[in-house]
Structure 1
Amino acid sequence: MDTKVVAAAKWSLITEVLAKLITPVTNIILAHILAPTAFGILATIMMVISFAEMLADAGFQKFLVQYEFESEDEKQKNVSVAFISNIVLAIVLWLVIIIWRDELAILVGNEGLGFPLAIMGAMLPLGAFSSIQMAMYRRSFNFKFLLSIRMITIITPLFISIPMALAGFDYWSLIVGLLAAHLFTAIALCIRQEKLISIYFSSTVFRKMFSFSAWSLAEAFSIWLTAWVDTFIISHFLDAYYLGLYKMPTAIVTTVMAIATSSMAPVLFSALSRHQHNQVEFEKTFLTFQRYMALFLVPLGVGMFVYQDFIVEILLGPQWKLAGIVLGSWALSSSLVTAISYLISEAFRAKGMPNISFLAQMAHLFVLIPVIYVCVQYDFTTFVYARSIVRVQMIAVLLYLLAIYVGMNAWLVIRNIKSYIIASAVVGTGSYVLLHLHNSMIWTIFCICISLILYLVVLYLFPTERIILTKIWESVLLRLKRS
């Protein structure tokens, strides 16, 4: 199992590193071609599509990864039922979007854009066709194959969206690029599938699966609401321009953070699911993943906060200047939320307790919605900072629930990454002071290099981290010698 986990983590990490090298390049080029309004329009459309995707999945993907089947025949029957159910639900939801496209466009603050919303709905059956097959590859830790599939999604917008944007197709370039990526992914999975999915459906199997995954669906809804409530509020109280200013930098942060989350989380969920009945191995796996993710994420979040204006100027250009506060505050809060909250949610799912994660999400929403609703009516800057700060409340709730329902000490989770928090805070403070001594691009680049070196130096002062850094360095040298 340990060998499978390490191999899966390696291939998953390679996939996400490639994605996070190519995808930002695509978005940066598009950001220089298109106005923020185009990205705001896409955000409101994706708010509807992502909600429909969540309903179409019905929590079956996580069920297939997490559930321990008694035989291969039982597993294949569940796969077939999940596949057919997802396809049917996706088509029904697409028809609903087509029929009520104009009303839905008004609801999300994009009146007159019902037609592009209906076209974007084609993502639903395409995504449903691919999702169950990809879930089974995750279950078997076959992340090497998923690399080739994921590369299709990564590269397609680069060759479709950018030429269309240059040709003047505005937000349509973004829509067509995403649709093409989903289409090519579905085709690739159809060609390369290892085992044909049989046409089989059983209402008994469906009810069993749904009863198991109902809380996963409820949890997915709460996560969707948490992720998209700010988009809904901005689209109603401000406009598509401010929504674009908000969504693009948060997307950049999410993209960068996802090098760790998207690569490690599926592997972590699969590994924890296999150890769900062994508390010692469960905790060991959780804490190991957390430390290696925090080693990278915490300093990254602090660094993006300190150098927010420089990053926005380089990546997006002068028309996005106001986006700096969004990028900086979101990166800082995301570094802690990802290293703690995100992993705790995965632990609840692996233990078969998505209802606890749902409870935490609802407790967070109870605080989040009134805070951002009030703050957005002051000004955009107040809204941005309030939205980032209130995320800390989610960490406290999840730590408490982790101790109660999983039996893991909350302080152990914090102590596990305290050295990274201390080192990042010390270096971040020094970097902020150093940065403001002079104002030039060369000086800023110099400060960034010094910050990276200082972080490693400060971290090396901690005996436990010295061991980890030494192991990483020895591993790198060994691989270089082999190559």
Structure 2
Amino acid sequence: MKYSSPHNPRASLKRRFAKAASWVLIGQFTGNLFRLGGNLILARLMAPDAFGIMAVAGVIHVIVALLADIGLRQAVIQSPNGERHSFLDTAWTLQILRGLLIWAACIIASLGLRVAEAWTLFSPNSVYANSILPAMVFAVSFSAVINGFQSMKGVSANRAIDLKHITIIEMIAQISSLCLAIGLSWLTGSVWSFVASGLFSSLTSTTLSHAWLKGRRDRIAWDREALSEFARFGRWVFVSSLFYVLATNGDRLLLGAWATPAMLGYYSIAFALTNVFDSVAARLFGSVSMPALSEIARSEPQRLPRLFWRMRAPFDVVFIALAGFLFAAGPSIVAFLYDARYSSAGSVLSLLSLGLLFSRYNIVIYVYLALGFPKYQSIVNAVRAASLFLLVPMLYSFFGFNGAVLGVACHPLLTLPLIFWFNSKHGLNNLFLEVSVLAAWPIGWGFGYCLTNLLQA
């Protein structure tokens, strides 16, 4: 199915971009609304410790999954061969093998945790010393096997910037799994409710990707030409993922060794609240912006900088305003949403809000991929990971847990000179945009201050 118009391809791209962005926003708004509501319910059914244990089990799975990332989805979206059947079938075959590899690696990790527990290698009060953690890692990671069988029809639809059915599938999977988690938590009060709901979500989305999305049936294939292209593109994605996984999940790895399950639970609650905005932007950047930028890079590369600035401006304003808002209102928001057991998450939320000042730069990574320079992404992620593992332990040694949280929020600052340098090579810098959007922070802080006074009245 062709989406471009021979008469006005720019208008066609704008229509597809607007439609896809609308579906992403609908999906993210609905998903975050249900996620927040479910989180509030689960917080009343479960103790803070459960959130801390689940956070570490989940992050171990995510780390292994990202370490096995070879950029299959990005390669299909970016490649001129992305519509060829043998190319798609080879990608699907590699995706299945990757899912099996992830589960096998997580099994080894769970055995390592069991040995560490037996030899008391971790502090008895840390999350890593919890006896249930190895079994949870084993079970949670099986979702990688299920997700490995997801149809490439979804990636093809993403390439064409047609996200209606993909978004609906994600909403169905999320809402149904959330209902299952709440029901099981109410009946059992067990942390295993999270595990069961996560596996059910993967099974639902995988089944619907085959049964509902339009397109040809996926087949096992092993095309040498396609493999060569995946290898060329994927080697930089692999290197990037190696550092990205440390940069985006190293916080919970480090805090899991220092914090009690309850403290990590507070951090997980605050992280989930700030991640609401990050997840919306990440989905828009990855599912809408990158396909659109890739299409422009292939057909009209001279238009790329202007399109990039137009995409970035509204995100910058929203992210900076939200950073100011949450910095002022973080404790009041937590006190309003959660019971007294979670009050410590309020100050953590205020500190983590500073990270939104830097999250707005994440879109530039997708521009680099659209231009065919995944090595830029690798270098930025390497610096980001190094700054995390340097700054967080240093601030923890001086200021304790809150210092570590501040390090988590502000460590991307050290990547900005590198990003500006890469941008200058492709005419992507815009000084007026960088400076003017900063006015949104005090405006957001003012709204947060007013909300705090209103809630305390």
1:32-181 superposed matches below 5 A: 32-69=44-81, 72=83, 75-104=84-113, 106=116, 109-112=128-131, 113-130=133-150, 132-181=152-201
Select which of 441, 448, 453 maps to 2:455: 441
> Hey, what does 2:380 align to over in structure 1?
360
Give the conservation status (yes or no) of the 8 Å contact 1:360–1:398: yes
Matched, 1:298 2:317: no
Whole-angstrom CA distance in 2 between matches of 1:238 and 1:424: 31
Report the secondary structure of 1:135's partner residue.
Answer: helix
> Hey, what does 2:26 align to over in structure 1?
14
Structure 1, unmatched stretches of 5+, are 444-483
Shift in alpha-carbon separation, 1:132–1:221, aligned structure 2, 3 A: farther
Report the secondary structure of 2:427's partner residue.
Answer: coil
Whole-angstrom CA distance in 1 between matches of 2:446 and 2:336: 22
Q: Give 1:57 deviation, angstroms.
A: 4.1
Relative CO higher for 1 or 2, CA cutoff 8 Å, sep ≥ 6?
Answer: 2
Whole-angstrom CA distance in 2 between matches of 1:247 and 1:400: 34
> Hey, what does 1:246 align to over in structure 2?
267
Select which of 402, 405, 410 maps to 2:423: 402
Q: Give 1:52 deviation, angstroms.
A: 2.8
One-letter code aligned to 1:312 = V
Matched, 1:237 2:246: no
> Hey, what does 2:3 align to over in structure 1?
none
Please report the TM-score for the alignment, with normalisation by the length of structure 1.
0.83
Q: Give 1:63 deviation, angstroms.
A: 0.4
Q: Give 1:429 deviation, angstroms.
A: 5.2
> Hey, what does 2:8 align to over in structure 1?
none
In terms of mean alpha carbon deviation, does 186-195 or 258-267 score higher?
A: 258-267
Give the conservation status (yes or no) of the 8 Å contact 1:333–1:392: no
Deviations along 1:48-77, whole A, 9 cap, x unmatched?
A: 2112322444211110011112x84xx211
One-letter code aligned to 1:9 = A
Aligned residues: 431
One-letter code aligned to 2:128 = G
Report the secondary structure of 1:109's partner residue.
Answer: helix
Select which of 296, 304, 314 maps to 1:282: 304
Whole-angstrom CA distance in 1 between matches of 2:385 and 2:67: 20
Whole-angstrom CA distance in 2 between matches of 1:126 and 1:114: 20
Whole-angstrom CA distance in 2 between matches of 1:110 and 1:397: 39
Whole-angstrom CA distance in 2 between matches of 1:56 and 1:232: 18
Shift in alpha-carbon separation, 1:104–1:205, aligned structure 2, 3 A: farther
Deviations along 1:346-384, whole A, 9 cap, x unmatched?
A: 111111111111111212222221221122234111211
Give the conservation status (yes or no) of the 8 Å contact 2:92–2:219: no
Please report the TM-score for the alignment, with normalisation by the length of structure 2.
0.88
Whole-angstrom CA distance in 2 between matches of 1:367 and 1:256: 23
Give the conservation status (yes or no) of the 8 Å contact 1:13–1:264: no
Q: Give 1:80 deviation, angstroms.
A: 0.6
Shift in alpha-carbon separation, 1:31–1:180, aligned structure 2, 3 A: same
> Hey, what does 2:220 align to over in structure 1?
199
1:380-391 superposed matches below 5 A: 380-391=401-412
One-letter code aligned to 1:316 = Y
One-letter code aligned to 1:239 = T
Structure 2, unmatched stretches of 5+, are 1-12, 117-121
One-letter code aligned to 2:93 = I
In terms of mean alpha carbon deviation, does 43-52 or 252-261 score higher?
A: 252-261
Give the conservation status (yes or no) of the 8 Å contact 1:41–1:110: no
Select which of 424, 444, 453 maps to 2:441: 424
Shift in alpha-carbon separation, 1:322–1:128, aligned structure 2, 3 A: same
Shift in alpha-carbon separation, 1:191–1:362, aligned structure 2, 3 A: same
Whole-angstrom CA distance in 2 between matches of 1:430 and 1:143: 34
Q: CA RMSD in A?
A: 2.3
Whole-angstrom CA distance in 1 between matches of 2:167 and 2:340: 35
Q: Give 1:417 deviation, angstroms.
A: 5.5
> Hey, what does 2:279 align to over in structure 1?
258
In terms of mean alpha carbon deviation, does 125-134 or 12-21 score higher?
A: 125-134
